[in-house]
Amino acid sequence: MFVSTGTEETAAPTVATARDAVCTVRGLVRTYRAGRNPGRPSLRRGREAAPAPVRANDGVDLDVHRGELFGILGPNGAGKTTLVRQLTGLLRPDAGTIHLLGHDLVRHPDRAARLIGYLGQESTALDELTVALAAETTARLRGLDAPAARAARDAVLDELGLAPLAGRPLKRLSGGERRLACFATALVGERPVLVLDEPTTGMDPVARRAVWAAVDRRRTAHGTTVLLVTHNVIEAETVLDRVAVLDQGRVIACDTPAALRALVADEVRLDLVWRQEAPLGVPAVAALQPLAEIAGRRWTLRLPQDRARAAVAEVTGGPAFAALDDFTLAVPSLEDVYLALGGRGTGLVKA
Amino acid sequence: MTVVQAGPERATATAAPLAPRAGLWPSLAAVYRAQLSRARVARIPLLFVATFQSIGIMIMMRGVVHAGDGEAARSVVAGSSVLVVAFVALNLLAQYFGQLRASGGLDHYATLPVPPASVVLGTAGAYASFTVPGTLVTAITGCLLFHLTLAGLWVLLLVIPLAGAALSGLGAALGLLAPRQEIATLLGQLGMSAALLLGVLPASHMPVPIRWVRDVLPSTYGVEAFARTLGGSGSTHWAAVAADLCVCGAVGVLSLALATRAYRRAACR
């Protein structure tokens, strides 16, 4: 199922869209034998009776435009990392095509490294290097000569505020600092496309701002296209131009965050937190129970606006209020969109 | 960067220019330098372990082997010295590549336009270099302990890189080919144990089948080359030393080529 709700894709003629496309993915399929880690399949040739294979990517179509900050959002296990590993030439698809900047990456996966700056989730190759040497070595391995690599290293460490940590090995840094240092290695040696797999994991707000500022500078100065993998809905809503929502290996929606949220615009989310047990003796509360997603003392309800208003009046006006610890009423987030579109995972993060 | 992409099925009119590849030698040097720097962070305690292990073995063997020139004393000193190379280049490198592969660390190199050979050779070269101080200290200590001449010590300058190439190529291949990280560690340990038992003990005391195993172990030729020089330059059969070193070199070329293939296979699936 490919759901396109966007104004851009339906309004613009196909040819115009295609002309803008930096990355075009069609019908991408990647299957793992069951029991394998989808992100990193082992080479074990198991003789045990294999259960049904798992389709980590099941016919993915994407069009990423030049200069866009394009997000791939989905819970853990949705197939995000598998998709990115195919885009970066690390994994061969079983079927489908990937065209990046006019190059066929399925036929020539080695070209990905010459077009893309990639930030993966693992830093084990760099952990025992100092921040400065990690950046400089990566620049050398991206084809820069020694003076250019040193200049690129100094520039990126200054830009990200990493200069004070330059002499420290990555493994002795905090999680967020280490992530920022890895991000620095993805930036050295300009590339027209950046693929960032959950770049801000573990970062404090200052480091996050440094990341997005660096990304914006490259988009403004060089028209860099950025593909961002995330399971963080708040980040997705605030930084992305467009987002593809992935669920069980399929794109279930692809549009701007605002347009996606408009899909569920007539709903609001009501969170009720009870002090102890919910007062099910109150008829209004009992009536809400079947509609609620219950996690401990927290009930989450997605309701039409008027129904939500009525529910708030009922729980805050009557005897239920004594049992209520907290409540929030919020406009829908991309998580609500994901669930409204039939997303089956529950791994999206709001932080 | 202009792109005209009229659809995935059709040929593209203009494709964006590709960034240049990193050259073999510059990237080999960059990997070598980076790996060497890891010694300061992670490797130094293990280098001490490698050296102390070999010196400990020699002290133990001193109780049963007479000092002075003889096959047994030469075997113990040469075997213990090359054991340092086996410990670091074979065992530790197998573990390192096994861990890198299992944790996804190879992705870092695989998403850079760098020749696979430079990653393997740079890393193997750095691990072989780690062995230099330990091997020299072990050899000098051994020669003093067993009253052997230090005159042939210079041959270690050939033995270390050549045996280092053979053993580190083997270690890298084991680490990259092993289906699981634990198996890479196990194979590295077994390789080192074989180098210990078959290198330190004199060959003439071994049963014939064990001698065959000894003959297929690349470290043997490094041990033999060094052992031949321990009797002093007058009694050294230099042609045999050169032949042993040639075997080390040939095995080094083959095992590093195998490791490069294994890296390609592990890095992109």
Local structure of B151: helix, strand or coil:
helix
**According to the model, what pLDDT value does residue A2 have?**
38
**DSSP assigned state of A189:** S
**According to the model, what pLDDT value does residue A41 have?**
46
Prediction ipTM score? 0.85
Where are the extended beta strands (E) located within chain A?
21-32, 54-65, 69-73, 95-100, 103-104, 116-119, 193-197, 225-230, 242-247, 250-255, 267-274, 293-295, 298-304, 324-330
- On average, the pLDDT of chain A sits at 85
Residues 146-205 of B with CB under 8 A from A: 179-180
pLDDT in tens, B44-65: 777 888 899 999 999 999 888 8
Query: Partners of A274 in the beta sheet?
Result: A324
Question: To the nearest whole percent, how much of chain A has pLDDT over 90?
Answer: 50
pLDDT in tens, A54-70: 889 999 999 999 999 99
Inter-chain residue contact A24 with B8, CB threshold 8 Å: yes
Rounded Cα gap, residues B128 and A113, in angstroms = 29
pTM of the model: 0.83
DSSP B154-215: GGHHHHHHHHHHHHHHHHHHHHHHSSSHHHHHHHHHHHHHHHHHHHHS-GGGS-HHHHHHHH
List the one residue out of A324, A328, A312 whose CA is nearest residue A275: A324
Q: Does B26 reach chain A within 8 Å, measured CB to CB?
A: yes
Residue A170: closest C-alpha in chain B: B41
Identify from B38, B108, B177 which residue to disrupt to test chain A contact, counting A C-beta atoms within 10 A and taking the largest count: B108
Inter-chain residue contact B104 with A120, CB threshold 8 Å: yes
The arithmetic mean of pLDDT across residues A276-302, rounded, is: 88
Residue B11: closest C-alpha in chain A: A102
Contacts of B268 in chain A (CB under 8 A): 89-92, 109
**pLDDT of B8 strictly over 80:** no
Residue B21: closest C-alpha in chain A: A143
How close does chain A come to B11, measured CA to CA in Å?
8
How close does chain B come to A135, measured CA to CA in Å?
11
pLDDT in tens, B80-131: 999 999 998 899 999 999 999 998 889 999 999 999 999 999 999 998 888 8
Residues 260-279 of A with CB under 8 A from B: none
**pLDDT of A15 strictly over 50:** no
**pLDDT of A269 strictly over 80:** yes
pLDDT in tens, B200-227: 888 888 888 999 999 889 899 999 999 9
Q: Does A143 reach chain B within 8 Å, measured CB to CB?
A: yes
Q: Does B4 reach chain A within 8 Å, measured CB to CB?
A: yes
**DSSP assigned state of A169:** B
**pLDDT of A7 strictly over 60:** no
Residues 155-174 of A with CB under 8 A from B: 169, 171
Structure tokens at B68: 């002075």
- On average, the pLDDT of chain B sits at 87
Among partner residues B37, B266, B269, which is closest to A129 by beta-carbon distance?
B37
**According to the model, what pLDDT value does residue B41 have?**
66
pLDDT band at A14 (very low <50, low <70, confident <90, very high): very low
Inter-chain residue contact A142 with B5, CB threshold 8 Å: no
Helices (H), B7-155: 24-38, 44-62, 71-85, 93-103, 106-110, 116-145
pLDDT in tens, B171-197: 999 999 988 889 999 999 999 899 888
Lowest-pLDDT choice from A1-10, A296-305, B32-41 = A1-10
